[in-house]
Every structure is written in structure tokens, then in C-alpha cells.
Amino acid sequence: MKKLIILSLAFLMVFAALSSCRGRAKIEEVTPPPPPEVEEQPKVEPVEKIEEPVTVKEPELTEEEIFMSKTLEEINLEAPLQMIHFDYDKYFIRDDAKPVLEANAEWLKKYDAVVILIEGHCDERGTEEYNLALGEKRAKSTLDYLASLGISAERIKTISYGKSLPLDPGHNEISWQKNRRAQFLIIRK
Amino acid sequence: MKIKWTLLGGILIFLSVLILHPQQEVVISIKEGMPAIPLALPDFIVRSSLPEIITIARELHKIISDDLKYSRVFQLLPKSYYSYIRPLNPEEIFFKDWESIQANILFVGEVPESEGKKFLFEGKIYDVKAGRFIFGKRYQSEKNLLRLVAHKMADEIMKIYGERELFTSKIVFISNRDGNDELYMMDYDGYNQTRVTFNKNQDYMPAWSADGKKIAYTSYRNNRAGLYILNPFEGEITEVVSKGTSFAPTFSPDGKKLAFCSTLEEGNPEIYVATSEGKKIKRLTFNKAIDTAPSWSPTSREIAFTSDRGGTPQIYIMDAEGSNVRRISFGGSYHDAPAWSPAGDRIAYISRVDQIFDIYVLNLRTEQVIKLTESNARNETPSWSPDGRHLVFSSNLTGTIQLYTIDYDGSNLRRLTSNGENKLPDWSR
């Protein structure tokens, strides 16, 4: 019995709806059909925004970790330690080289596992034999200065190339000045 | 004074020639400043009609002739003189003929018939005045060793006159012709330039052992300039010092010791000495200044070296134990690269004046200094020939660094290399 009542009620409703539609159609014949009556359909749940990260994000690297991730070649290419220059025939540390070495010492204190090689170089206006010794002296006075700034001499090795590896192949004062130098190579970290 | 000595020398040679005997070992000491001995070197006799043999004879003659001319001991008679006398007959030599054109020595070379890859060569030396045969030598060899055979023969002639072998000596040097600095060696005349080391390392400052079998040199490996001893004929390498930078090696003429410069102990360039195998390293200099470039006296009892202990680089001599140091270079502000002559009476070195490097020779007996090179260039690293009449050195005379030889009196400048840049020569003993 209940079913019958529900069915007849449904019939009545559909009939009423249809008759009202007909009524409107008479007034506005050119308008397109109205949109489907979505209100009456079951509503789709609104899109759930997922705020949680799906993949694990790497934590920000510390400077130390970035440093360790690089190869020695990459670090040396960046040349964190600036070279210094010398006077003709001399191996004492010039005043303009001191701040450079101080900055280098700071860097070495920061990266305290780093071992460096100081290369002593000369210009072409000295003899092969004496120049090789002079390059060694330049490397040694650079080492001594860094040691005086608190860098352990254990972390520093020296080598001399004499005049065999000029930075600038020219034969003038500008080239010679560039070539009289102590430069740094990081050999361990 | 010079004339007197020359006369005396002439008499000495004359007397020595008089007492020559074929069976005896003939040793005549030739002193510098003496007139060169007139030597006749007629064309070699060819016992064959094969064009190849004729070419061999001509080449041998050319090389021996060049060697003897270079020696400064002999003076070759002009070829035109031979047309004044009867042609050479090896079976019956008319010594009077050769005497008439002022020959003291007659060299007769013969190239007999031979087949295959080998050739034969026979050389005979005659004392013209005494009219007798002094010495003869026969060689059989492959054709590619023709230059060596000729040099050996020429050295035999030198040995008769009390000289060290010169023409078979070798010069070791550094060249970058194949990319990086490596060891090379060549004959005294620049022929047979041969690569000795094959690596990617920078090799530096080679020095022959007294017996010419080993070479000590510096090699840059693993961020270190280490000292190595190489046996180039066996291909063996041993490391001498495993700490610091070590360079400028030099073997003592008695074959027992090896001196070198090293930063072994306190990081300061000092002179050390070891056995010729590089063992038992002992420090010789104790000085805050630079001490480098050692060079042994021929007696192996003293060492010349460079030091800037007085403010500028100068040449000093010390006893082989490191004591008794005395300065020997004066009058300049930059002296380096001493090379003690085989006779012991002279030291060649480089002096820098206004950016020009020239070779000077100090006579230790007279304390006279002569300037050997006169150039607007950098002349470096002099090394004496075994007989002490010539020096090899490097120079950037032509714009690139090349090797040259020059005679003890500044004459006869010869260029030996042209391929790449070539430097740091050392002439074998």
C-alpha cells in the first residue's frame, strides 16, 4: 500500500513539473533550454586540497655540506684562496699581500680539515737554478705568514715551479709582476 | 809569454812524438793554447764498386772529419794539399810525401767489401815524422749505427792523445717538443735526439752519473718535486727523497756521491749529499739563505754552489763535507749555475747584468774572468764537455729557448736543437 501511495505521489509531482514547463515554453520560445537542474542532483564533494608534501623534500644544505659535496677540482676552480705577488728577486710578504693572506687564513679556519699546497713561482728574469730556490722561499714565507695567523703548518705543503709555469707568457713588467706569485691549491678537505 | 809556452808546447809534442812506439800506450797531454796537431785525412779507400759501400765510406769520412775539426786538438790539412803528393797507397806509405805537406799524423781509413745489412770499417793512424804505424781499429756494424762507428773511431784518435772520449758523449736535456717537459738525450753534435721519459709529469734538471749509465732528475709528481734516479737503458726509476722539493742534482766525478738542493728539513733550500744510489742523505749547508746549484770539483773533494747569504746570489766553494766556505764570484749582483771544468782550473757560471744573462769563466789559478757569450739574451745552465774544451748551454737568442755549444774561448757557436723549447742540458763525462 505504501508503495502505491509513493508511486502516485511521484506521478503527481512529475505531472505538475511537466505542466509548469509547458507554461514557460509558451512565453519564451527562442531562449535555449535551461541548464539542467543541478540543484536537484546529488552534490559532488568540493575538491579536497592536499596540503601535505607528496615527496620528501631535502633539508637545506649547510655551507659545510655544500663544500663537502664538491670535488677538489670544482673547489680549486672557484679559487677561494687568492694568490699573492712578490717584488722582483724578493720573497718577503708585501703589505698588499697581508690582507689577502688574512682572508685566506679566515677561510682556512672555517674549513679546518682543508690541506693546501702553496706553489711558489718566479718570473723569467732569474736563472733556472736560483729561481727554483726562490720559488721555494716564496712558498715558505707564505706558509710562515699563514702560520703566524694561526693556521697549523701541518695543513700546508709547499712546492716551487721556478719560472717553468708562468701565468702570463708576456715579456714585460706587467707579465713579470703577475708571474712572481704564490698561489694556493687545495689538496685535501 | 804566450809565444814561449807555445814553443815549449811544440817541443814537448815533438819529443813525445819521437818516443812513440806502436806497442806502447801513447799518451800525450795537449794543453790549451797549443797549436792544433796537423792531421791528414785523405778520402777513405773503398774495396768495392758497390755504390752503397762508396756512400758509407764518404759518410764515415765526413763524420770523422767533422769530429776532428770540432776537437780543437787536431787541425785537418786542406784537401788541396793532397794533390801535391803521390796518391795514398795503403800498402806502401811514402811518409816523406806527407811530411812535405806538414802532416804530423796520417789517418788511413778503409771500407772493405761487405754484404747484407752490415758494413766493415778499418782505421789506421800513422806518425808521419817517425814513419810508423801507431794504432789501428776495425769495426763491423749495422748501417744505422754508422755515426756511432765514426764517433768511436774519432774518440780512439782522441784517446791516443790523452783526451777523454768526446764524440760518443751524450747530452741530456729537457724538451717540451712532445707537449710537456720531458727528458731527452742527443749526441754531442745534436744528432740522434731521443726521448727518454714518457709521462705526463713535468721533468726537470737532469744530470748524468759519472759512468754515463744513470740520470738523476726532478719530477713533479703528486704535488711534490721529487728527486729520481733513472737508468735510461734499463728503464728503472728509483726515488731518492720522499719529502720536500728536491732539485739540481749532480753526481760526483768519482762516481760515489750525489749532491742536490732540497727543502727536506726546514723548508729552506739547502745542499745535501747522498751516496750515488741516493742513500745516507746528509745536509751540508745550514743557513737561512738560499743554497743551491751544486757542482763538484773534478777531484770530488770540493763543491761549488750558489748562495744568497751575502744578500745577492753569488758563487761559493766549500769542501765536500760542507766546511771551509769561501766566495769566489765578485763584481756583479747576480751569479748562478756554477759548472766546474773537468780539468778543475775553471768555473763557468751565469752572470745577470741588466736582464741579460751571459756565461763567464773564472780561471781559479789566475783569478781572471772571461766573458764567454756576448748577447742580448738569456744564456743559461752551462755544462762542460768531457774534455773541457766546449760548453753546452741554453739560450733564447732566437726567441725560443734552444741548446748551443761554444768553445772554451768563445768561438764556434753551434745550435743543436730547433724542435720545441730545449733547456737544462748536462753533458756526460
Residue A56 neighbours by CB distance under 10 Å = 6
Sequential pLDDT tens for chain B (429 residues): 444 444 444 444 443 433 333 333 344 444 556 789 999 999 999 988 889 999 999 999 999 999 999 999 999 999 999 999 999 988 889 999 999 999 999 999 999 988 778 999 999 999 999 999 999 999 999 999 999 999 999 999 999 989 999 999 999 999 999 999 999 999 999 999 999 999 889 999 999 999 999 999 999 998 899 999 999 988 899 999 878 889 999 999 999 999 999 999 888 999 999 999 999 999 999 999 999 999 999 999 999 999 999 999 999 999 999 999 999 999 899 999 999 999 999 999 999 998 899 999 999 999 999 999 998 999 999 999 999 999 999 999 999 999 999 999 999 999 999 999 999 999 998
Helix axes A98-110, A128-148, angle to 10 degrees: 60
**Residues of chain B numbered 267-306 and touching chain A (CB < 8 Å):** 267-269, 290-293, 306
Best to test chain B binding among A76, A130, A144, A185 (most B CBs inside 10 Å): A130
Q: What is the pLDDT of residue B373?
A: 94
Average pLDDT for A132-146: 97
Helix axes B51-71, B146-160, angle to 10 degrees: 40
C-alpha distances (whole Å) from A168 to each of A180, B24, B81, B83, B380 are 10, 62, 58, 62, 21
pLDDT tens per residue, range A19-51 = 554 544 455 566 666 666 666 666 777 777 767
Q: Which residues of A touch B206 (CB under 8 A)?
A: none
Please name the member of A129, A136, A185 whose beta carbon is closest to the beta carbon of B263: A136
**Residues of chain B numbered 194-213 and touching chain A (CB < 8 Å):** 202, 204-205
CB–CB contact B245 A134 (8 Å): no
What's the CA gap between B313 and B290, in Å, rounded?
8
- Give chain A's mean pLDDT: 85
Q: Is A136 on the interface with B (CB under 8 A)?
A: yes
CB–CB contact B293 A129 (8 Å): yes
Lookup: cell for A132: 727554483
Which region, left, alpha or beta, applies to residue B311 given φ > 0 means left and ψ of -120 to 50 means alpha?
left
Q: Are B63 and B5 in contact (CB under 8 A)?
A: no
Residue with cell 601535505: A52
CB–CB contact A159 B337 (8 Å): no
Q: Which residues of A touch B245 (CB under 8 A)?
A: 132, 136, 158-160
What's the CA gap between B93 and B104, in Å, rounded?
14
Q: According to the 3-state scheme, what is the secondary structure of chain B?
A: CHHHHHHHHHHHHHHHHHCCCCCCCCCCCCCCCCCCEEEECCCCEEECCCHHHHHHHHHHHHHHHHHHHHHCCEEECCHHHHHHCCCCCCCCCCHHHHHHCCCCEEEEEEEECCCCCEEEEEEEEEECCCCEEEEEEEEEEEHHHHHHHHHHHHHHHHHHCCCCCCCCCEEEEEECCCCCCEEEEEECCCCCCEECCCCCCEEEEEEECCCCCCEEEEEEECCEEEEEEEECCCCEEEEEECCCCEEEEEECCCCCEEEEEECCCCCCCEEEEEECCCCCCEECCCCCCCEEEEEECCCCCEEEEEECCCCCCEEEEEECCCCCCEECCCCCCCEEEEEECCCCCEEEEEEEECCEEEEEEEECCCCCEEECCCCCCEEEEEEECCCCCEEEEEECCCCCCEEEEEECCCCCCEECCCCCCEEEEEECC
Residue B393 neighbours by CB distance under 10 Å = 24
Q: What is the CATH number of domain B170-427?
A: 2.120.10.30
Q: What is the pLDDT of residue B29?
A: 44
Please name the member of A89, A133, A158 whose beta carbon is closest to the beta carbon of B261: A133
Lookup: cell for B262: 732540497
pLDDT tens per residue, range B170-220 = 999 999 999 999 999 999 999 999 999 998 899 999 999 999 999 999 999
Task: Report the percentage of chain A scoring pLDDT > 90.
Answer: 62
Please name the member of B223, B269, B352 whose beta carbon is closest to the beta carbon of A157: B223
Q: What is the CATH number of domain B2-160?
A: 3.40.50.10070
CB–CB contact A124 B290 (8 Å): no
Homologous superfamily of domain range A65-188 = OmpA-like domain (3.30.1330.60)
Q: What is the pLDDT of residue B298?
A: 96
CB–CB contact A127 B336 (8 Å): yes
Domain with CATH 3.40.50.10070 in chain B: 2-160
Which region, left, alpha or beta, applies to residue B381 given φ > 0 means left and ψ of -120 to 50 means alpha?
left
Q: Is A124 on the interface with B (CB under 8 A)?
A: yes
Domain with CATH 2.120.10.30 in chain B: 170-427
Q: Is A154 on the interface with B (CB under 8 A)?
A: no
**Residues of chain B numbered 243-262 and touching chain A (CB < 8 Å):** 245, 247-248, 261
Average pLDDT for A66-94: 93
Lookup: cell for A180: 712572481
Q: What b-and-e string marks burial along B179-214, b requiring 16 or more CB atoms within 10 Å of the CB? A: eebbbbbbbbbbeebeebbeeebbbbbbbbbbebeb
User: Which distant-in-sequence residues (6+ apart) come within 8 Å of A125 by Cβ?
Assistant: A88, A176, B352, B355
Cα distance from B378 to chain A (closest Cα, Å)? 8
- What chain A residue is nearest to B313 in terms of C-alpha separation? A130
Q: What is the pLDDT of residue B180?
A: 93
Q: What is the pLDDT of residue A48?
A: 74
What phi and psi values does residue B136 have, to the nearest 5 degrees?
A: -140, 155
Q: What is the pLDDT of residue A25?
A: 47
CB–CB contact A132 B352 (8 Å): no
Q: Which residues of A touch B292 (CB under 8 A)?
A: 129-130, 132-133
- What chain A residue is nearest to B423 in terms of C-alpha separation? A128
Closest CA to B290 of A136, A150, A16, A13: A136
Q: What is the pLDDT of residue B265?
A: 87
Q: Is A72 on the interface with B (CB under 8 A)?
A: no
Q: Would you place residue A109 in the very low, low, confident or very high pLDDT band (cuts 50, 70, 90)?
A: very high
Please name the member of B225, B334, B381 whose beta carbon is closest to the beta carbon of A160: B225
Please name the member of B225, B268, B292 whose beta carbon is closest to the beta carbon of A129: B292
Q: What is the pLDDT of residue B2?
A: 42
Task: Report the percentage of chain B scoring pLDDT > 90.
Answer: 81
